[in-house]
Structure 1
């Protein structure tokens, strides 16, 4: 008998940021997330994604961005700076343009990974590295 997984989904994520107010403004302006409530001095901010899930932006003065090195990702076994979170979007190309306009680090272009959809790696102003993913394009339906 197969054991049922006891973890259902990721409810929220906690992100280290140097300046909570500046980061909240960036997540709102560039990524379209909504600030849940006013930011209190010395506290974090809660940003709400389209799905209703929360991203907590927590103060981290020295900055410890989310990413790590792995040799288990690149096909050639070379070290790769990995992202710990992959987000989903319905409009990756618009997101890419907004990230570029904001001056954020992104890969050079949106990658079409066939059955794995459209993908893009990017960093927020604090250096937290993420991937964003869009569902694979159905046959005969043009990509957004």
Structure 2
């Protein structure tokens, strides 16, 4: 069986969709704690679009059942135990500042930043709706 090389048909992640219970409250948290900018004014019953530092869009969409963007996997641990996984990993240029902002806001965040050597510095955190994310800074 031969493996053929095909040009990637997907280039990058342009935007992501995050479930939240209260769009206005969550948008304010993402602006205040993460420093994101709102793309347009909030419209009642609609979501919010926030801009990441390089311009990608992060949509906060109303989710009345409170479902968070997380899932369990056994592929992330050495011992095969279940791990609550984050679906998105963001890049940052100031992981220490991010950690301080999250801690200051009372967010769930890892106690300390992990230095993963050639994989850079990393930390995991949750927004007020329980959506779990990882942040990464290049070495």
Gaps of 5+ in 2: none
Among residues 16, 37, 41, which one is paired with 2:40 in the alignment?
37
Q: Distance in 1 between matches of 2:79 and 2:93?
A: 31
Which one is further off, 123-132 or 73-82?
Answer: 73-82
- Three-state SS of the structure 2 residue aligned to 1:103 is coil
Matches within 5 A, 1:44-123: 44-123=47-126
How many angstroms does 1:75 deviate by? 1.4
Counterpart of 1:18 in structure 2 is 21
Equivalenced residue count is: 136
Structure 2 distance, partners of 1:101, 1:10, is 30
CA distance in 1 between counterparts of 2:14 and 2:67 reads: 22
How far residue 2 of structure 1 moved from its aligned partner, in angstroms, is 1.4
Q: Could you tell me how far apart the structure 2 residues matched to 1:76 and 1:51 are?
A: 37
Distance in 2, matches of 1:6 and 1:36, equals 28
| Per-residue CA distance 1:63-94 (angstroms, 9 max, x = gap) | 11001000000112111000000000000011
User: Match of 2:128?
Assistant: 125
Q: How far is the alpha carbon of 1:62 from its aligned partner?
A: 1.4
2-side partners of 1:108 and 1:33: how far apart?
23
What is the alpha-carbon root mean square deviation over aligned residues?
A: 0.7
Runs of at least 4 residues off by over 4 Å:
none
**Runs of 5+ unmatched residues, structure 1:** 137-144
